[in-house]
């Protein structure tokens, strides 16, 4: 009987418990052999599919607490201010998780190539291409998180070398092109379908859709190079755009979630993760599109102007050491105009609608602020009604403000929080949606590349796809023509590129109850075109892409910001200077209102034990990275000025 000793190396990695060593070299250990004939490539590939859905342990630590924070998909400190967690990184960069998923994909490719060369059934030729496409994705997931990785393994007993991010993208783009071309949609794929042999949770054996996924992934990867190598980005993108693409809801690359502590549990399902709306997203939502907030009649009495009224000024309780244009205010009501996706994605505090509201949070009622003079709740304290209000505030270092406002800002029920729809493990995790394709095409067209459709057509199609996904298409036509600015000075209408100007807004002094006015100045996103534009075409495209990727694709949103500096990311509060020696971004009270590249994390750190357990590989990785193993070292494709 033929044996395939190397196969078991990968299979064994599926069951490996997390250990102190989180290096790719683990895969080169040589256990007992297993019969090659008894292993189906599709089943091996499915192991990788399933693992990458992320069980609750790793989903909480990486998807929610790392990627979502890096992307400003939730309000929090932690990785938002650059402090990643070595233990979480060690888990993720191990054979128990991401390294194991890539091992399985590599093994599926290796075995698939061997089977095809030996005259395997026709369907296995397509399974091989599926494995190549999936491996390409996994390689980029790891490389976009950490930087250089050892992406390939031939299971020949040698240690896989680390590859530069440039080499990784060169390989991935070539691999996606070849795999897409090699797929044959006419081959019967029954062998990997059906209730007893379901090995394709994405498309159930539909090779035409796998081609669309491969080509769309190639668009994504090509665009990643737009800053560092625009010529190659253009060439690869234009070629990929000639193929079939993910353009409809039916084409979405997605996997059904299921409850229970399994790989298929929802990535946002941990009930203790509040996942509150971020100031980044909130400032984008408010006023954008000119659509009335959709609430029952009995709630309309608390509606107030979203962009001409700031709320109650409470600067003795809320920090203003930030460039967040909404800092220092409590919005004592509901905004009159808001992006219609906002109240589908996030609940209104104090309102149980039976769908979006997550009962574990509790219903907002009121909150009492401590007396700044005493630090205690006493006769001079202020009580705020938080029911039917819409607020969020920057995280970061609040110092004294934290204890003074804890009933308000320390209680999750007082914030809009991610919809219950995403918490119950009954959804489908989205890996690539049609909106992303359209926004990629829009960006390419804006650069003058040769692609189907104009920048405006693709931009509007991307918004339409996102609206359809969230069930708010009835507002699309009005939304697309809106010239109303949001709180960061961006409007929806593609041809409306006039820059927003400072204007007078009203507010209430929270301490004297006086009605006052002030001049509202839009934030200056200095890392994008020197802060001269908040409403040009590219800002509009990436702003809408940022919204549309929410909440499923935070890694992509983070990558866009690292690449372009879009959309505007506000600083977190800086009542105390940050500590870069603890991997915090170098924010100080003096620079709190500035916008600089160094104020955002660029990557996750390699696990600290690599330097001890895999010293040679670690040194190779650091050399290829071109900088220290910290969160500030930019990846090859990241904007560096």
327 pLDDT tier (thresholds 50, 70, 90):
very high
- Distance, CA of 107 to CA of 4 (rounded, Å): 11
What's the pTM?
0.95
- Distance, CA of 321 to CA of 327 (rounded, Å): 8
H/E run at residue 254: strand 253-256
Mean pLDDT taken over the chain? 94
CA pseudo-torsion sign 155, 161, 162, 164: negative
Cα separations (Å) of 139 from 75, 81, 144, 157?
Answer: 29, 26, 8, 21
Which residues lie closer than 8 Å to 440 by C-beta, 6 or more apart? 216, 219, 220, 223, 237
pLDDT value, residue 35: 61
**What average pLDDT does range 29-33 have in this prediction?**
40
- Distance, CA of 22 to CA of 608 (rounded, Å): 9
Cα–Cα–Cα angle for 518, 346, 77, nearest 5°?
A: 70
- Distance, CA of 492 to CA of 147 (rounded, Å): 35
Contact of 53 with 44, CB cutoff 8 Å: no
Contact of 490 with 507, CB cutoff 8 Å: no
**What average pLDDT does range 471-488 have in this prediction?**
99
Cα–Cα–Cα angle for 65, 102, 83, nearest 5°?
A: 25
pLDDT value, residue 640: 79
Q: Kindly tell me if the per-residue pLDDT of 186 is higher than 50.
A: yes
Q: Enter the tokens of residue 469.
A: 């996904």
pLDDT value, residue 155: 78
Contact of 636 with 165, CB cutoff 8 Å: yes
Which residue has tokens 């590349």? 449
Q: Higher pLDDT residue, 196 or 468?
A: 468
Paired with 286 in beta bridges are 338
Question: Which has the closest alpha carbon to 462: 245, 161, 138?
Answer: 245
* Model pLDDT for residues 57-74, shown as the tens digit of each residue: 999 999 999 999 999 999
Three-state DSSP at 518 gives strand
Q: Kindly tell me if the per-residue pLDDT of 18 is higher than 60.
A: no
Question: Which has the closest alpha carbon to 529: 538, 520, 521?
Answer: 538
Q: Kindly tell me if the per-residue pLDDT of 361 is higher than 60.
A: yes
Strands, DSSP E only, in 440-526? 503-509, 515-520
- Distance, CA of 322 to CA of 592 (rounded, Å): 5
Pairing of strands 309-313, 503-509: parallel
Q: Enter the tokens of residue 86.
A: 């070595």
Contact of 8 with 33, CB cutoff 8 Å: yes
Cα separations (Å) of 111 from 4, 131, 202, 415?
Answer: 9, 10, 21, 50
Q: Kindly tell me if the per-residue pLDDT of 13 is higher than 80.
A: no
Contact of 279 with 75, CB cutoff 8 Å: yes
How many Cα atoms occupy the beta-carbon half-sphere of 77 within 13 Å?
12
pLDDT value, residue 641: 67
**What average pLDDT does range 426-442 have in this prediction?**
99
196 pLDDT tier (thresholds 50, 70, 90):
low
pLDDT value, residue 595: 98
Which residue has tokens 């090659």? 36
Q: Kindly tell me if the per-residue pLDDT of 108 is higher than 70.
A: yes
Lowest mean pLDDT among 192-201, 433-442, 560-569: 192-201
Q: Enter the tokens of residue 555.
A: 């890694």
Q: Kindly tell me if the per-residue pLDDT of 8 is higher than 50.
A: no
What are the backbone dihedrals phi and psi of residue 621, each rounded to the nearest 5 degrees, phi first? -60, -45
Q: Kindly tell me if the per-residue pLDDT of 128 is higher than 80.
A: yes
Pairing of strands 329-330, 428-432: unpaired
Instruction: Verify cis geometry, omega within 30 degrees of 0, for the bond prior to 17.
Output: no
Phi-psi region of 205 (alpha: psi -120 to 50; beta: other; left: phi over 0): left
Question: Which has the closest alpha carbon to 21: 622, 624, 635, 617?
Answer: 617
2 pLDDT tier (thresholds 50, 70, 90):
very low
Q: Kindly tell me if the per-residue pLDDT of 33 is higher than 60.
A: no
Q: Kindly tell me if the per-residue pLDDT of 28 is higher than 70.
A: no
Q: Kindly tell me if the per-residue pLDDT of 564 is higher than 50.
A: yes
- Distance, CA of 105 to CA of 152 (rounded, Å): 10
Q: Kindly tell me if the per-residue pLDDT of 557 is higher than 60.
A: yes
Domains in the chain (CATH in brackets) are 5-245 (1.25.40.390)
Lowest mean pLDDT among 68-82, 146-160, 394-408, 601-615: 146-160
* Model pLDDT for residues 223-282, shown as the tens digit of each residue: 999 999 999 999 999 999 999 999 999 999 999 999 889 999 999 999 999 999 999 999
């Amino acid at each position: 009987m033929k044996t395939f000793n190397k196969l078991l190396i990968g299979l064994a990695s599926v069951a490996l418990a997390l250990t102190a060593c989180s290096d790719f070299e683990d895969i080169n250990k040589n256990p007992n052999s297993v019969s090659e004939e008894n292993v189906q490539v599709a089943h091996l590939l499915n192991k990788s599919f399933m693992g990458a859905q992320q069980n609750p342990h790793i989903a909480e630590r990486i998807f929610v607490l790392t990627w979502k924070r890096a992307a400003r998909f939730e309000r929090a400190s932690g990785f938002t201010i650059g402090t990643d967690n070595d233990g979480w990184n060690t888990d993720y960069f191990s054979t128990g998780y991401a390294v194991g998923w890539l091992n399985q994909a590599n093994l599926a490719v290796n075995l698939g190539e061997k089977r095809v060369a030996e005259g395997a059934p026709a369907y296995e030729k397509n399974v091989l291409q599926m494995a190549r496409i999936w491996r390409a994705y996994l390689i980029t997931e790891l490389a976009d998180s950490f930087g250089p990785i050892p992406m390939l393994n031939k299971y020949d007993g040698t240690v896989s070398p680390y590859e530069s991010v440039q080499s990784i993208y060169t390989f991935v783009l070539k691999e996606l092109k070849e795999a897409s071309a090699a797929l044959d949609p006419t081959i019967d794929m029954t062998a990997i379908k059906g209730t007893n042999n379901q090995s394709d949770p994405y498309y159930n054996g539909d090779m035409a859709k796998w081609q669309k996924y491969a080509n769309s992934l190639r668009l994504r990867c090509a665009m990643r190079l737009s800053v560092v190598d625009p010529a190659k980005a253009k060439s690869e993108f234009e070629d990929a755009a000639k193929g079939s693409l993910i353009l409809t809801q039916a084409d979405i690359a997605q996997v059904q979630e299921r409850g229970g502590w399994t790989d298929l549990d929802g990535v946002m399902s941990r009930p203790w993760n509040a996942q509150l709306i971020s100031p980044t997203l909130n400032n984008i939502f408010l006023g954008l599109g000119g659509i009335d907030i959709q609430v029952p009649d009995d709630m309309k009495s608390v509606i107030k102007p979203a962009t001409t009224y700031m709320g109650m000024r409470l600067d003795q309780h809320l920090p203003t050491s930030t460039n967040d244009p909404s800092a220092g205010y409590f919005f004592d009501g509901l905004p009159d105009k808001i992006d219609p996706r906002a109240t589908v994605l996030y609940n209104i505090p104090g309102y149980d609608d039976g769908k979006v509201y997550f009962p574990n949070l509790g219903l907002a009622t009121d909150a009492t602020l401590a007396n700044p003079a005493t630090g205690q709740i006493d006769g001079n304290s202020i009580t705020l009604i938080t029911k039917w209000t819409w607020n969020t505030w920057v995280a970061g270092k609040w110092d004294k403000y934290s204890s003074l406002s804890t009933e308000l800002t320390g209680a999750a029920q007082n914030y809009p929080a991610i919809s219950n729809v995403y918490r119950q493990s009954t959804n489908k995790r989205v890996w690539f949606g049609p909106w992303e394709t359209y926004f990629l095409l829009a960006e390419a067209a804006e650069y003058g590349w040769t692609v189907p459709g104009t920048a405006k057509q693709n931009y509007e199609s991307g918004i339409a796809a996102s609206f359809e996904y969230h069930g708010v298409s009835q507002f699309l036509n009005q939304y697309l023509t809106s010239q109303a600015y949001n709180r960061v000075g961006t409007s929806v209408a593609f041809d409306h590129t006039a820059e927003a100007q400072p204007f007078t807004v009203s507010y209430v002094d929270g301490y004297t109850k006086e009605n006052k006015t002030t001049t509202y100045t839009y934030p200056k996103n200095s890392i994008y075109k020197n802060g001269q534009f908040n409403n040009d075409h590219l800002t509009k495209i990436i702003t809408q892409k940022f919204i549309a990727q929410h909440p499923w694709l935070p890694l992509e949103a983070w990558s866009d910001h690292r690449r372009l500096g879009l959309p505007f990311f506000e600083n977190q509060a800086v009542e105390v200077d940050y500590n870069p020696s603890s991997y915090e971004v170098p924010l100080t009270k003096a620079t709190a209102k500035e916008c600089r590249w160094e104020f955002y994390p660029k990557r996750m750190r390699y696990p600290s034990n690599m330097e001890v357990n895999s010293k040679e590989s670690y040194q190779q990785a650091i050399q290829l990275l071109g900088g220290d193993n910290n969160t500030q070292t930019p990846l090859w494709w990241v904007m560096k000025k």
